[in-house]
Amino acid sequence: MDSYNVHSWIGTVYILYNFVAHHPDINFEPLHQGDQRYHHRLPVYSEQFLYKPSVAIMLSQTIFKLACFATLGTAHPATPPESLPLAISTRSSQICYDSEKPNLLCYNSPSGVPQNVNLTDVAYIASYLRAYGAQTKAGRLFNMARADAPDCGEWTIYARNSAVATAKHIDNSVNSSVLFADIANTIDGGAKATPEQQAAALISCGTSGGSLGVLVNASNPAYTASTYPTGFKPSGILVKIVAANPS
């Protein structure tokens, strides 16, 4: 790293340090349901706990990125989405509702809250998850152990513009493990889905979004392979398509 980059790096850190030091009044707290700023992102059948990012986290991430750039001296081209690791976002414990069953449920009015998602985004999510799962020969598995997702815990799987795919653990008696390919098929019916397969998948809910238990392909050898996690079952997970930016 040449002297110019060293001086640039030191100057950047100094500016960031002074920003935090002179803004002690900034307070980033978790948003609870009782807070007026709380947004009910999911349909009436569920609730969530939202966090605003802390200054420390944002600052550390910024410094880390700048440090990497200063050390390498050159920027690298973007990596294709299919080869990026999938970041599963965990949420706080949810509530188990008797109405949340594996059956297809579309959030149509008047009984539901339409999510106004873009079907192009929903299709992209399914394609992304399918490509991600196919990166290994046996197929990647999505796991929700009951200890990690108690009280019907709900996790964000992937988001794209207007839509978010989430997974909810609706059976606290089992450790659940399903293929990403099956999650993708649950969303769009399959890579080359027939009209009948699409009608049985979440894509049939249209822009309203909805929920559906993972459509498991039990004949897939991944579920009987020695690599399948011991003590897990391909059941107990509900997939939802909801709005990314609730109004």
- pTM attached to this predicted model: 0.65
State the 10-residue block means of pLDDT for the chain, 247 residues long.
49 47 43 33 33 37 38 34 50 67 96 96 98 97 92 93 96 96 99 98 98 98 97 97 85
pLDDT (0 to 100) of residue 26? 40
Query: Domain ranges in the chain?
Result: 3-30+50-72, 91-243
Specify the pLDDT at position 11: 53
pLDDT at 94: 64
- 58 contact partners, CB below 8 Å, separation of at least 6: none
Q: What is the pLDDT of residue 203?
A: 98
Separate counts of helices (H) and strands (E) for the chain: 5, 8
DSSP string of 142-179, one letter each residue: EEE-TTTSTTT-EEEEEEETTEEEEEEE--TTSEEEEE
pLDDT recorded at residue 73? 37
User: Which residue(s) pair with 142 in the sheet?
Assistant: 178
| Predicted pLDDT of residue 25 | 44
